[in-house]
Amino acid sequence: MTVKLAPAQAKRSGAFAELTRAFTGLRREETLAGYLFLLPNFLGFIVFMLFPICFAFYIMLTEWSLSKPPEFIGLKNFEVMLDDRLFWKSLSNSIYYTVVAVPTGIFIAFWLALALNRKMRGIIFFRTIYFLPQVTLTVAAATIWRWMYQPNVGLINYILGLFGIDGPNWIHHTAWAMPAVIIMSNWQGIGSAMLILLAGLQGIPEEYYEAASIDGANGWQRMRFVTLPMLSPAIFFVVVTSLIGAFQSFDQFLVLTNGGPADATTPLTLYIYNSAFKFLKMGYGAALAAVLFVIILIITIVQWQLARRWVFGFEDN
Amino acid sequence: MSVAQGTEIRRTRFGQKELLRLHDLLVYIVLSLVGIIFLLPFAWMVANSLKTIKEIYRLPPTFIPDSLQFTNYIDAWTATTFDRFFLNSVIVSACIVLGQLFTASLAGYSFARLRYPGRDKIFLLYISLLMVPFTVLMIPLYVQMRHFGWVNSLNAVIVPFLFTPWGTFLMRQFMVTIPRELEDAARIDGCGFFRTYALIILPLTKPALATLALFTFLSSWNSFQWPLIVLGTPAVKTLPLGLYSFQAQSSMRTPWHLIMAAATFVVLPILVAFVVGQKYYVRGIVTSGIKGGG
């Protein structure tokens, strides 16, 4: 590795003088300790994060199957993408998944958090139960659900049958496979959203509710004018992280449906994985990954912009 | 605020105590129903792991097996090299947890307490890279691993993960809140920076270290996508990969009872770790969530 750390600091002539001063003056021991303590972490950071990120910019401009040296082709990967049916399909799958899974998940998490936010016995017990799926390996969780989704001997269609409903062929049906993944993902992922919202609820001072009650506010009004505004920073955080997380989901798609049937559940992440490691198109995979990154970046920026309108006290932070 | 006992007032003023009790009961019922939905897949996993292959395909499905087939666990364990997968997972998780605790606490201390040029800029760089998705990293990182000759070696799933921007951030945020007086006293007594870190700061950082350890253990134990990319040979596979290839076998009569038994012993350690260390896990989510996000 020939990575130099200097340029960022040496840019300004004053920086170098500052550095010299720091290493020779009264604080030299502290300066030395500061850099030394940072060193192990910083080396790893450069070699396994900063360098790969920069390297990715190069890879996405090449055609590279690993067996031959990379061939520089400029922006051709992105041109190919425009006519790639599978790219558009996987992109729309990712959007479908996100747009359905995130709002429903947060909606359920919100009501669960409200129900848990009271001084009753056994609340921690329930909190633990709701959180268990979250810490379970996605591979194991998806395996269990794959068995539960079996059309004939599966538990889910059996239970539906008890209510007289003829259950679909979940993961083998183009229209039902995506809802199947979404249900499983929400079962698994609701825990952390619920916890963050619960922490937010517990941070709302009791006095606000009392003041509202004395002013004659009913339950709905207390929710509308106290709970929601006070909880909006937590909701904002959950929305942003859930959106980003949904676009990055991979494990459950691979294990539950492996992208099928007929690519109905191939999200962008799985397509990137297949492009790079199944079809050995490193350049194309990296270009697709760049698209995913830009999408995540846009989501984050848009959310921060929107937050000014609806998140209580957002400008103050 | 003047009405400190407001709850009491609200409860008694309209004589609503009974109504509130009824309300509590309703909440309990709803919470329990939801709880059953959340637990059902686990119960189903355990129930099926104890059935015979005949019973598992029988209709209507049974929740309590006719006879408990504990031998399924042995059969599943020996059907493939689960002992190897388990050992690999333990090695990988232990190395990553210890490595991250070390590098993150050292760097956290450096960021939180020591003064030197460029510190805040480096910290900002760390935070800004937190949002880079792993999907962007995985292709260049794979090429790098190939270059190092680490494909199909546990090095590939350990070494790049000994460093953590997130954990460093967590450590720094926690250490900033530790009162300075203790350290100053130690420094005056002639303690060097490393001894101050090891003897004063680390013991006070225990809750944050526990949080980081638990999070790191869970995420490395559960890690799937990256091992799937770099670990192909059975000798180096970790548990999630082992379970994945075990359940992906397709035959007419898939041995779902054995797959469920395997899922059970893969999931169990993680559930125990969570229930034991729950306090620290919850704290991690809440601090990194609210403070990091706002």
B61: closest CA of chain A, how far (Å)? 7
Contact between A213 and A100 under an 8 Å Cβ cutoff? The reply is no
pLDDT over 70 (residue A5): no
Cβ within 8 Å, pair B229-A41: no
Q: Are residues B89 and B152 in the same domain?
A: yes
CA distance B143 to B160: 13
Q: Are residues B45 and B87 in the same domain?
A: no
CA distance A289 to A136: 27
Q: What pLDDT does B4 receive?
A: 43
Q: Are residues A51 and A115 in the same domain?
A: no
Q: pLDDT, tens digit, for every residue of B23-76?
A: 888 888 999 999 999 999 999 999 999 998 888 888 788 888 888 889 899 988
**Which two structure tokens, joined as six digits, stand for B66?**
């006719």
Predicted ipTM > 0.90: no
Q: pLDDT, tens digit, for every residue of A108-144?
A: 999 999 988 887 778 888 888 998 998 899 999 999 9
B198: closest CA of chain A, how far (Å)? 12
CATH of the domain at A189: 1.10.3720.10
- Tell me which residue range forms the domain holding A17: 7-59
Q: Which residues of chain A lie closer than 8 angstroms to B57, CB-CB?
A: 153
Residue in the block written with tokens 């509130």: B20
Q: Are residues A36 and A123 in the same domain?
A: no
Cβ within 8 Å, pair A135-B274: yes
Q: Which residues of chain B lie closer than 8 angstroms to A27, CB-CB?
A: 115-116
pLDDT over 90 (residue A85): yes
DSSP string, B161-178: GS--HHHHHHHHHHHHTS
Q: Are residues A19 and A141 in the same domain?
A: no
For residue B136, give the chain A residue with the closest CA. A289
Identify whether B254 is part of a domain.
yes
Query: What is the 3-class SS of chain A, one letter each residue?
Result: CCCCCCHHHHCCHHHHHHHHHHHHCCCHHHHHHHHHHHHHHHHHHHHHHHHHHHHHHHHCCEECCCCCCCEECCCHHHHHHHCCHHHHHHHHHHHHHHHHHHHHHHHHHHHHHHHHCCCCCCHHHHHHHHHHHHHCCHHHHHHHHHHHCCCCCCHHHHHHHHCCCCCCCHHHCCCCHHHHHHHHHHHHHHHHHHHHHHHHHHCCCHHHHHHHHHCCCCHHHHHHHHHHHHHHHHHHHHHHHHHHHHHHCCHHHHHHHCCCCCCCCCCHHHHHHHHHHHCCCHHHHHHHHHHHHHHHHHHHHHHHHHHHHHCCCCCCC
CA distance B171 to B173: 5
A214: closest CA of chain B, how far (Å)? 9
Contact A40/B at CB under 8 A: yes
Contacts of A184 by beta carbon, 8 Å cutoff, 6+ apart: A141, A142, A145, A252, A256
Domain count of the fold of chain A: 2
Q: Which residues of chain A lie closer than 8 angstroms to B129, CB-CB?
A: 45, 49-50, 53
CA distance B103 to B42: 36
Q: pLDDT, tens digit, for every residue of B249-283?
A: 766 677 888 999 999 988 988 888 888 888 777 77
CA distance B131 to A90: 22
Q: What pLDDT does B7 receive?
A: 46
Cβ within 8 Å, pair A276-B3: no
pTM for the structure as a whole:
0.86
Q: Are residues A84 and A45 in the same domain?
A: no
Of A22, A33, A139, the CB nearest to B117: A22
Give the count of beta carbons closer than 10 Å to the beta carbon of residue B240: 24
Identify whether B164 is part of a domain.
yes
Identify whether B66 is part of a domain.
no
B222: closest CA of chain A, how far (Å)? 5
B25, B139, B164, B274: best to mutate for the A interface, most A CBs within 10 A: B139
Identify whether A71 is part of a domain.
no
Contacts of A162 by beta carbon, 8 Å cutoff, 6+ apart: none
Identify whether B96 is part of a domain.
yes
Q: Are residues A55 and A85 in the same domain?
A: no
Contact A155/B at CB under 8 A: yes
Q: Are residues A164 and A301 in the same domain?
A: yes
Cβ within 8 Å, pair A248-B135: yes
Q: Which residues of chain A lie closer than 8 angstroms to B271, CB-CB?
A: 132, 135-136
Contact between B290 and A201 under an 8 Å Cβ cutoff? The reply is no
CA distance A60 to A281: 10
Q: Which residues of chain A lie closer than 8 angstroms to B59, CB-CB?
A: 152-153, 158
Q: Are residues B11 and B86 in the same domain?
A: no
For residue A48, give the chain B residue with the closest CA. B160
B66: closest CA of chain A, how far (Å)? 17
- Give pairs for A75-78: CB < 8 Å, separation 24+: A77/A283, A77/A284, A77/A286, A77/A287, A78/A287
Q: Are residues A241 and A286 in the same domain?
A: yes
Q: Are residues B231 and B160 in the same domain?
A: yes
CATH of the domain at B90: 1.10.3720.10
pLDDT over 90 (residue A54): yes
C-alpha to C-alpha distances, B102 to A170, A241, B193, nearest whole angstrom: 46, 27, 15
Torsion of CA A26, A32, A34, A37, to 10 degrees: -150
Q: Are residues B276 and B154 in the same domain?
A: yes
Q: What pLDDT does B256 receive?
A: 87
Q: Which residues of chain A lie closer than 8 angstroms to B39, CB-CB?
A: 129, 132
Q: Are residues A95 and A45 in the same domain?
A: no
Q: Are residues B20 and B119 in the same domain?
A: no
- Pick from B211, B209, B224: nearest CA to B278: B211
Q: Which amino acid, residue B191?
A: C
Q: pLDDT, tens digit, for every residue of B217-247?
A: 988 999 999 999 999 898 999 999 999 998 8
**Which two structure tokens, joined as six digits, stand for A24?**
């020779």
Q: Are residues A25 and A98 in the same domain?
A: no
Identify whether B65 is part of a domain.
no
SS3 B106: helix
CA distance B122 to A38: 10
What is the rounded average pLDDT of the residues A12-40? Answer: 80
Cβ within 8 Å, pair B140-A52: yes
A86: closest CA of chain B, how far (Å)? 18
Q: Are residues A46 and A152 in the same domain?
A: no
Contact between B259 and A143 under an 8 Å Cβ cutoff? The reply is yes
Contact A303/B at CB under 8 A: no
Q: What pLDDT does B98 receive?
A: 96
Contact between A90 and A270 under an 8 Å Cβ cutoff? The reply is yes
Q: What pLDDT does B288 receive?
A: 58
Q: Which amino acid, residue A48?
A: F
Q: Are residues B41 and B187 in the same domain?
A: no
pLDDT over 50 (residue B2): no
Where is pLDDT greater, at B31 or B187? B31
Identify whether A27 is part of a domain.
yes
Name residue B165's beta-bridge partners: none
Q: Are residues B167 and B26 in the same domain?
A: no
Q: Which amino acid, residue A281?
A: K
Q: Are residues B134 and B181 in the same domain?
A: yes
H or E segment at B187?
A: helix B181-188
Q: Are residues A104 and A38 in the same domain?
A: no
Q: pLDDT, tens digit, for every residue of A167-192?
A: 898 999 999 999 999 999 999 989 88
Contacts of A305 by beta carbon, 8 Å cutoff, 6+ apart: none
Identify whether B62 is part of a domain.
no
SS3 B58: coil
Identify whether B60 is part of a domain.
no
- Pick from A94, A180, A97, A101: nearest CA to A141: A180
Cβ within 8 Å, pair A56-B136: yes
CA distance A79 to A81: 5
Q: Are residues B238 and B103 in the same domain?
A: yes
CA distance A143 to B224: 13
Identify whether A214 is part of a domain.
yes
For residue B194, give the chain A residue with the closest CA. A33
- Tell me which residue range forms the domain holding B33: 6-49
A176: closest CA of chain B, how far (Å)? 19
Of B3, B139, B192, the CB nearest to A59: B139
Q: Which residues of chain B lie closer than 8 angstroms to A29, CB-CB?
A: 193
For residue B289, give the chain A residue with the closest CA. A196
Give the count of beta carbons closer than 10 Å to the beta carbon of residue B287: 17
Peptide bond into A261 cis (omega under 30): yes
DSSP state, residue B235: G
CA distance A89 to A92: 5
Q: What pLDDT does A4 receive?
A: 46
Q: Are residues A139 and A185 in the same domain?
A: yes
End-to-end CA distance of chain B: 26
Domain count of the fold of chain B: 2
Q: Are residues B40 and B95 in the same domain?
A: no
pLDDT over 80 (residue A156): yes
Q: Are residues B25 and B163 in the same domain?
A: no
Instruction: Phi first, then psi: give them for residue A65, nearest 5 degrees.
Output: -105, 10
Identify whether A205 is part of a domain.
yes
B106: closest CA of chain A, how far (Å)? 5
Identify whether B139 is part of a domain.
yes
Q: pLDDT, tens digit, for every residue of A203-214?
A: 888 888 888 888
For residue B117, give the chain A residue with the closest CA. A19
Cβ within 8 Å, pair A286-B140: yes
Residue in the block written with tokens 């638990």: B214
